[in-house]
A and B are shown apart, each in its own frame.
Chain A
């Protein structure tokens, strides 16, 4: 038996292909939306992987350092190192800001870290790690910075000495790594006018500027302008140690909040990007409905255009299931063309997106199944119309 659907598609292939391309672009948008969500999750996981930590220690009663702000004294890590089961602990700061390069600025997450400690960029694609104590930076390639570029962070210039890849914040902003001391200064240091005003206020305060206590004023002024805070301490545990046990010990004895890798992943994926995920989910549902409506409309219109032929086919003895099969196969064919076009365009335009778009094969398989189901569902309206065609309409009168 010849394939009626196949012959019809070949006969009017241009209409089919053009419709398939239109549907494909819609499917491409749908796959890209799923890819954007996957990219956000992957960014969050990359952030955790690249930090090299087993436990994140942050300010008590906060969910920092990524979901909430957190502030700790920078000597906390010494106390942590004294706890059993902890092999390494290092201070780290995170600050989302605009970093200037010439006349342009780039939105980045500036990370302050101690070279050779957890928090350091785990690998470089060009250049070298930071070796000087000040004014050197390693940047993610997505910043667009090149080796040797001079970038400005607050009031200081930094030279880009290394480039890394896939080092982004949970929001997708590329990271710029600088020495911890510089980052602390960038994060907390006031501007010169504010320092002058503060100094004048303190000097004018008789409680703080006592003539009988030499050195008190200088000590207070020094304390006001120095910063010894960090956002988190990244902890690596000794082999064979349970992260949950160590985290509970930190919470119990140090009165700090400690999150294991699983807990931090939960915060990032289920809380930080949850609203975005729901937003994308809504878009996916709407796009699925729109796709179904388009396929249903196209197949329905095409079937209406063949009513006389369908009546003749029924009159000459074609089974209802053959006619239904023809319409179903055409809908599936349209879906197949649409999916191939959609997958292709989604793959082609994914690298152009400013944020990471991760197209997972599993999503493609699920997308294909959903597209086929939608097409099958959408064809039912046209099949219903075709099956209601009276073969007598082929005979005049």
Chain B
């Protein structure tokens, strides 16, 4: 089992009970290796967001198995007591909009996660500045999020997701508000970061500009996943 970024077997999620029950996820299987970026695409209502919420430990799957790194975190029930700590320390999130905290400067937006994990302020800020430099927004470290461009904000959001060096990052349509050039730049950064930090990254997207960049793509349809080799592998 060692060596997984994230591995999912037979994941199911049912909303409601009896006649009104809806199976949002029926049989989801997925493996993402450390340092790999995969695309997750599917039409509206196919179960993308439900899957992301299950992977993000914000809703509980009905059945199945999830392995994060080398640890089973779900097998017909959560195996981890503190899901909040799991999300904080081992899962990074990048959203469609950056959702940076408007009253914190760029450094503290990134440093907040290590601080929440109990790291001293100085150490957390040092880590944040290193990430910001790596993402080429180090020069905006003291700026407020509202002073940044859309692309810069998204790079700060990526830095925040990487702040606690999680084994997996879940990116929910991270390029949706960006133009082609910036969207491709974000994907390039995600690939670089995945390689550099050995992080498994799942990118949920509808964005046809970036779909060809993935080496592997998971299609999700009617709650089931289908793997496909992407054009990025060529």
Contacts and interface: CB of A to CB of B under 8 A. Distances in A.
Contact of A312 (B85, B101, B117, B144): B101
B104 interface: yes
Interface string B72-94: 00000000000011011100010
8 contacts: A309-B99, A316-B87, A316-B160, A317-B116, A318-B88, A319-B84, A395-B58, A397-B49
A8 B50 CA distance: 32
A391 B93 CA distance: 12
A2 interface: yes
A280 to B, nearest CB: 41
B116 A318 contact: yes
Interface string A373-392: 00000000000000000111
Contacts of A395: 49, 52-53, 56, 58, 93, 95, 172
B173 A315 contact: no
Looking at chain B's contact residues, the main secondary structure is helix
Given A317-B88, A394-B95, A10 B173 contact: no
Contacts of A392: 53, 56, 58-59
Contacts of A397: 48-50, 52-53, 172
B228 to A, nearest CB: 22
Which range contains the number of B residues in contact with the other chain? 20 to 34
Contacts of A394: 93, 95, 99
Nearest to B92: A316
A316 B103 CA distance: 17
Interface of A: 1-2, 4, 7-8, 10-12, 308-309, 312-319, 322, 390-392, 394-397
A12 B146 CA distance: 13
Top 4 A-B residue pairs of the complex, sorted by shortest distance between their CB atoms:
A397-B49, A317-B88, A11-B103, A392-B58
B108 interface: yes
Contacts of B28: none
Nearest to A6: B103
B199 to A, nearest CB: 16
A316 B162 CA distance: 11
B161 to A, nearest CB: 9
A287 B48 CA distance: 52
A317 to B, nearest CB: 2
Interface in B118-151: 121, 144
Nearest to B96: A396
Contacts of B112: 2, 316
B115 A391 contact: no
B95 A396 contact: yes
Nearest to B118: A1
A2 B108 contact: yes
A10 B93 contact: no
Nearest to A390: B58
A8 B111 CA distance: 16
B18 interface: no
Contacts of A11: 102-103, 144
A395 B50 CA distance: 9
A312 B84 contact: no
B87 A2 contact: no
Contacts of A7: 103-104, 108
Q: Most B CB atoms within 10 A — which of A12, A319, A396?
A: A396
Nearest to A322: B116
Interface in B38-69: 48-50, 52-53, 56, 58-59
Contacts of A391: 58, 87
Contacts of A319: 84, 116
A2 B104 CA distance: 9
Contact of B87 (A12, A317, A390, A396): A317
A137 B106 CA distance: 75
B38 to A, nearest CB: 18
Given A309-B99, A318-B88, 12 more contacts: A1-B116, A2-B111, A4-B101, A8-B103, A11-B144, A309-B102, A316-B113, A317-B113, A392-B53, A394-B93, A395-B93, A397-B53
Given A2-B112, A397-B50, A313 B101 contact: yes
A316 B93 contact: yes
B116 A10 contact: no
Given A7-B108, A391-B58, A315 B115 contact: no
Contacts of B95: 312, 394-396
Nearest to B103: A11
A395 B173 CA distance: 10
Given A1-B121, A319-B84, A396 B49 contact: yes
Contacts of B52: 395, 397
B101 A315 contact: no
Q: Most B CB atoms within 10 A — which of A2, A12, A317, A319?
A: A317
A316 B53 contact: no
A320 B103 CA distance: 19
Contact of B116 (A12, A308, A309, A316): A316
A391 B85 CA distance: 13
Q: Most A CB atoms within 10 A — which of B49, B56, B59, B101?
A: B101
A12 B53 CA distance: 32
Nearest to A311: B99
Contact of B58 (A1, A315, A318, A322): A315
B222 to A, nearest CB: 16
A316 B88 contact: yes
